[in-house]
Structure 1
Amino acid sequence: MPSSLYASLQQKIGDLKDCFIVERDDISDYEANDHRKAVAFVLLASAELEAYVEERCKKAANEAFDRLGKSQPTTAGRGLVMWAIIRKSSDPHPFDVADVQLHRERFSEIRKSYVSSAMKSHGIDDKDFKALAYPLGFRPGDIPEQLFDLLKELSQDRNPAAHGPVNRAKRLTEPKEEWTRFSKILELLLIFDRRIEELVAS
C-alpha cells in the first residue's frame, strides 16, 4: 500500500496537470502560453518530487533510528550507521548486523547528519536520489534504472527552464509529453515507496 506521502504527491501532481497541461490535437496548434504553462508544470511538479523524496527518506530514517534505539536494527538502520562510517563513498554500502551496536553512542549524531543532508538538496536528479536512497539500505536493482534516467533527464530539462527566459519553453517537448514523463516517474516512485517501507521494517 502506498504511503500517505506518496498518495499526497500523486494528488498534487495530478492537480498541477489539471492547471497547467494543455492538450491539443497537433503540435502546431499549441500557443506560446501553452508552452509557458508546461514550464510552470515542470518546475512546480519537480519541486513536489523533491519534497516527497526528502520527506520520505527523512521519515524512514527517523523510524529506523527509533528502532535502533530499541535494539531493533533494521536494514535502513544498519545502512545509515554504515553510511556515517564510510561517508566519503557514494556507492551502495555493505553492512553487518554486528557493527551497528558498536556505534550506539553516535546514533543521535548520525540521525541529525542524515536528516540535515536530506534538507540540503536542491532539485532531485539521479545523483541526489541515490545519495538519499543508498544510505537507507537500497541495493542495486531495488530501484529501476529507468527512474534514475528519467530524473537525470528531468533535471537537465528543468534547469534551463528555471534559469532562462520563459520563451525557452518552446524548445521543450510537447506540453502533454511532460505529463507522460511525470506519470512514468510516479509509477516508478511507487516501487521506491514500497521498498523503503520494507527496509525500515526488516
Structure 2
Amino acid sequence: MPSSNWVSLEGKILELSKALINDDADLASDEDSIRAVAFLILSSGAIEQYIEDRCRAVARSGIGRLKRSLPSASGTSLVTWGASKNGVRQVPIHPEDVAEYYDQYGVFLDSYLKSVNDNHGINAKDFYRLVYPIGIRTDDVPAGLPDKLQSLSQERDPAVHTTPRTRRFQHPPDVKSRILEIVELLGDLDDVLAVAETNFPLRSATP
C-alpha cells in the first residue's frame, strides 16, 4: 500500500500536468514549451520534497520501533550510521549491539534529520545520501531511478537559471513522460522503504 507521501506526490504531479502540459506534441507552441519548463521545475521540487519527507518519516518510525523493541532495518541502519560517525564506542555490527546505543537513538535521529534538512537538490548522489543511512540496499533501489534523478537535476538547473524564451524547450509530452516515469519508480521505492521500516533482517544470511 503506497504511503500518503507518495499518494500526495502523484496527485500533485497530475495536477501540474493538467494545468501546464499540452499533450499534442505536433501543435506545441513556444508558450507550451515555456509551460513545460515550469512543469519540470515544479515537478522536480515536488519529487525532492517527497523523497526528503518520506525518508524523515521512515527514520522517525524506525527509531521509534527500536525504542519499543520492534524490528526495523531503517532504525538499525540509522544506529550503525550514527555510531560510525560518533566514534567513541564500538560500531554495532551484530543485532544485539544496537541496544547498547539506546541512549543515543534520539541523537542519531536528530543528526540524520539535520542532514536531510541540509540537503539541496536531488541528483543521484543526494539520493544515495538520503536512503543509505536508513537501510536501503543498492540492489533494492529501483533500476534506473538514480540515473533519472541525475538527468532531472541536470535539466532543472539550466531551466532555473535560463530565460525560457532564449531557446526552445523539449516537447512538453516528453517532459511529462520523463517525470511520470520517475514518479512510478518512486512508487517502487516507497514499497522498499516500507519493508525496511518494519522488518529486520531484510534477507536471510547465506550459509
Tell me if TM exceeds 0.5.
Answer: yes
Unaligned runs of 5+ residues in structure 1 are 89-93
Check the 8 A contact 2:82/2:108 in 1, yes or no: yes
* Deviation (angstroms), 1:98: 2.2
* Deviation (angstroms), 1:72: 2.5
Residue of structure 1 in register with 2:80 after alignment: 82
Q: String of CA shifts for 1:69-113, please: whole Å, max 9, x gaps.
A: 11224111111011113349xxxxx95312211212211111111
Residue-pair matches, total: 194
Quickly say closer, same or farther: Cα 1:119–1:70, change in 2 above 3 A: same
Secondary structure at 1:16 match in 2: helix
Residue of structure 2 in register with 1:91 after alignment: none
Residue of structure 2 in register with 1:108 after alignment: 106
Matches of 1:52 and 1:83, distance apart in 2? 22
Matches within 5 A, 1:112-131: 112-131=110-129
* Deviation (angstroms), 1:175: 1.1
Report percent identity of matched pairs.
Answer: 35
Residue of structure 2 in register with 1:175 after alignment: 172
Q: String of CA shifts for 1:38-75, please: whole Å, max 9, x gaps.
A: 01000101111011111101011111111111122411
Residue of structure 1 in register with 2:35 after alignment: 37
Matches of 2:167 and 2:94, distance apart in 1? 49
- 1:201 to 2:198 alignment: yes
Matches of 2:131 and 2:31, distance apart in 1? 37
Unaligned runs of 5+ residues in structure 2 are 87-91, 200-207
Residue of structure 2 in register with 1:15 after alignment: 15
C-alpha root-mean-square deviation of aligned residues, in Å? 1.7
Check the 8 A contact 1:73/1:97 in 2, yes or no: no
Task: Please tell me the residue identity of whatever aligns with 1:84.
Answer: G
Q: TM-score, normalised by structure 2?
A: 0.88
Shifted more, 42-51 versus 122-131: the winner is 122-131
Check the 8 A contact 1:61/1:136 in 2, yes or no: yes
Q: Which runs of 4+ in 1 moved over 4 A?
A: none
Matches of 1:169 and 1:61, distance apart in 2? 42
Check the 8 A contact 1:147/1:185 in 2, yes or no: yes
